[in-house]
Amino acid sequence: MRIERSTDPEHQRMTSRLRLIAEWDALAKKAKFRASALAQLCRVSLRHLRRFILYRFGHTLRRWLDDQRLKHTVNLLSHGATIGEITLVLGFKQDTYFYRFFKRMTGTSPRAYLRQRILTDFDVAV
């Protein structure tokens, strides 16, 4: 399978615009980790954004957004945010959706993750 490079000036302009974005994590947060909102912020089609993210980061757009959301979640948990606050900030409709997301991504509950992290930090300090 051969992939043809586009010679279309509009395609090249959109690609170069996306390449200029440096703070992808902040942009994902601003879009509340929603693919369509991120595409609107970048002023490109969702299809184009999906192709670019796969090319740039080596993951599907959904996986990349989930990874960004998880990084933000861990940061919030580390700074003492409650599950309710995290649910609200990350745009989950219910706490149960957040719990499912977290367990799917980490294999553990948020509480168990924090407990393990505290024990690990304590072991390092001692």
Give me the tens of pLDDT residue by residue for the chain, a chain 126 residues long: 344 455 555 555 555 688 888 899 999 999 999 999 999 999 999 999 999 999 999 999 999 999 999 999 999 988 889 889 999 988 888 999 999 999 999 999 988 888 887 767 655 554
- As a whole number of angstroms, the distance between CA 64 and CA 121 comes to 27
Fold of the CATH domain 9-125:
Arc Repressor Mutant, subunit A (1.10.10)
pLDDT value of position 7: 59
pLDDT value of position 105: 94
In this structure, what are the phi and psi dihedrals at residue 76, rounded to the nearest 5 degrees?
-65, -45
- As a whole number of angstroms, the distance between CA 117 and CA 126 comes to 14
Max distance between CA atoms of the chain, in angstroms, equals 60
